[in-house]
Amino acid sequence: MKVVIAEKPSVARDIAEVLNITTKKKGYIEGRGCTVTWAFGHLVTLQEPGEYDPALKRWSLDTLPFVPDEFKLALIKNPGGEEQFRVIKLLCEQAEEIVCATDAGREGELIFRYILALCHCEDKPIRRLWLNSLTPDAIQAAFKDLKDGHDYDALYAAARCRSESDWIVGLNATRYYTVRHGQIGGGSDRVLWSIGRVQTPVLAMIVERDDTILQFWPQPFWELTTRYREVVFRYTGQRFEQPEKAQALLEKMSGQPFVITGSAGKESKEQPPQLFDLTTLQREINKQHGLSAADTLAATQNLYEAKLVTYPRTDSRYLSHDLKPRIPKIMEQLKAIRAEQIAPLNLAKLPFTTRIIDDTKVTDHHAIIPTGVRPRSLSANEQLVYEAITTQFIAAFYPVCIKNITTVDGISAKVKFQAKGTQIVEPGWTALFPKKKISQDATDDQALPAFTKGETGTHEPSLREGKTKPPSHFTENTLLGAMEAAGKLVEDDTLREALKERGIGTPATRAAIIETLLRRNYIQREKKQLRGTDMGRCLIALIQDPLLKSPEMTGEWEEKLKQIERSQLDPDAFMDGISGYIRTLIHNGSARRLDPARWGSCPLCGKEVIKGKRAYGCSAWQDGCPFVLEPECKGIALTARQIQTLLQLRILPQPVRIDDEPRILILSTQGLPMDLHLPSAERQKKIEKGDRPAKTPAKKNE
């Protein structure tokens, strides 16, 4: 008997239908000498420490680090999971051959192999069903081309290393920081500090960005422009940091004519967009519609299971050569819903450029494209995502967009100016996308009339005062981009592609990482922005080990996992490195401790803080440092321990302007990193399960 194990019941039903297997039993479908059964996603997981040794149920520094000599497996506590596992185990024991039909990727392989291991059926012959879509044709083709299951041993090794390394770092670091710093605010309740190999560097990125913005001091500048024939010309020199120089030039031009000294135009070609991988799809949907990465992934997964799009968890934006014959057929099918957009394309001669077809850039899965199956009833999110994937697919085969970029030079009283304008000659692929709204300050895209060299006339010079702006808070769009490029903000497609090997997490896990941080109350959404909470800021302040919160180091670990997938790195070497790292972290005691002999450093200048009669202030006050910290803020009296926490960990106090000068640091009662704002370990567990109030209520008398 052949047993096929799918990841979900819905996929199992699709496979059974294509194979004409129709007899339904409890937990499986059988017929024609074949049985199709299913898991519920991750059915098997790694055992908890207390299952290795009951003494490890108690959290203590004495038992850390704990790294099992051999990891053991256990069933996930899931309603119905234990019963379904018994069905799978019985079928596997009777099977002559077992087919892995879980999702064709790292986590799908892990789900299957863990089930196989817990069934003690690892010695059975195994085959691999590798699917890029769930259409009947794709399923039939994949069954005709079943692979030897052991061809994917390296993929499983990488998946197992990912699972075990997350367990080692997460469990040991979480216990260490919770035991060492669970009572950071001096209260009786202990705070649960959750640490993760991937989630903590992402949190650090968000907190660091928030701090950069909070500490940013806007600097004034002045821009000199003039308006001639309703066109805005900008001064060609640097913008002015002092108004006097700009005012002098403005007065110099007053009453003087404006002369056109020349103009030049050049043709620019903008290439069609590349196809979507999961991360670029999530970024685009978040940017255009504000949908979260998790919601986009869920909608895309639903579209995949409805046979409308290909496999979503891909990091490739390319197609392989063997797909070329299928593309015109898909376009033909899409005419039923996109006839007007597909009409300009010659389906017999589609332009298969290297921006679309490249076998070297397709690993496990190709780019996300529509299958050609006509959609019926879609939810609002599914409709948004399907429209985006379909439009991107059609646009990839459209002509380039041709623009004329014109530059006009002018002068007045020897002061040089320049104006730029863009004219669309051939819209090409841009005709498929709504026009972007142009800011009133954007002068590079203004419509330019015909200018003649030497023409002259009156003009209207003006001086505009502005202020430098801080970087923007992360949105899911920009955070996903930074995660993909190992913490670097990269917009260039080529450079971002080169950094993918070192990205934080994978396309399949990045959305879950963001949702985990939200669920644990370490970050929060403010409209489209993602910002660190007091909990998140406090945790990052406590962690002194730079590697534990380093995007670059996490990116290096992810790169090594990909090397394991390609059989280029020994899995044991990777795990030895992880185990060595966690032992060093705990041995060195790299959690920040409070020094009871001092108050802390001044957040403005870094000098020591001293205690006065009524307040705390900077020891460099005679040198002009204005920092003062009142021990009472909005009716809340701060204890000495809380003052030390604030100043030594430098968690919250941030400079603000009063009367337009940085004079004092103000504390927000909503930002105090104390037990009245940090939930207890018991409360934190409820938060992680989804029981999260808008705000954690303060305790009385605090």
SS3 annotation, 59-102? CCHHHCCCCCCCCCEEECCCCCHHHHHHHHHHHHHHCCEEEEEC
SS3 letters across 275-324: CECHHHHHHHHHHHHCCCHHHHHHHHHHHHHCCCECCCCCCCCCECHHHC
Chain centroid to CA 103: how far?
Answer: 22
Cα 200 to Cα 342: distance, rounded to the nearest angstrom: 46
Per DSSP bridges, beta strands 523-526 and 460-467 are unpaired
The helix (run of H) or strand (run of E) holding residue 258 is: strand 258-270
| Strand ranges inside 379-502, DSSP E | 401-412, 415-426, 456-457, 460-467, 474-475
- As given in the structure block, the two tokens for residue 89 are 């185990």
Tell me the two tokens of residue 697: 């209520």
Picking from 98, 5, 103, 7, the residue whose alpha carbon sits closest to that of residue 364 is: 103
Q: Which residue in the list 114, 311, 398, 616 is annotated as catalytic?
A: 311
For 214, residues 6+ apart whose C-beta sits below 8 A from its C-beta are 654
3-state secondary structure of 542: helix
Q: Let me know if 311 is a catalytic residue.
A: yes
Q: Residue 413 is encoded by which pair of tokens? A: 């009283």
- Spatial CA neighbour of 211 closest among 689, 655, 618: 655
Distance CA(240)–CA(244), nearest Å, equals 9
In whole angstroms, how large is the CA radius of gyration of the chain?
A: 30
**In this structure, what token pair is assigned to residue 454?**
């030497």
β-partners of residue 405 are 266, 422
**Using omega within 30 degrees of 0 as the cis cutoff, is the peptide bond preceding 65 cis?**
yes
The closest of 102, 103, 145 to 300, measured between CA atoms, is: 103
Which residues are catalytic, by number?
311
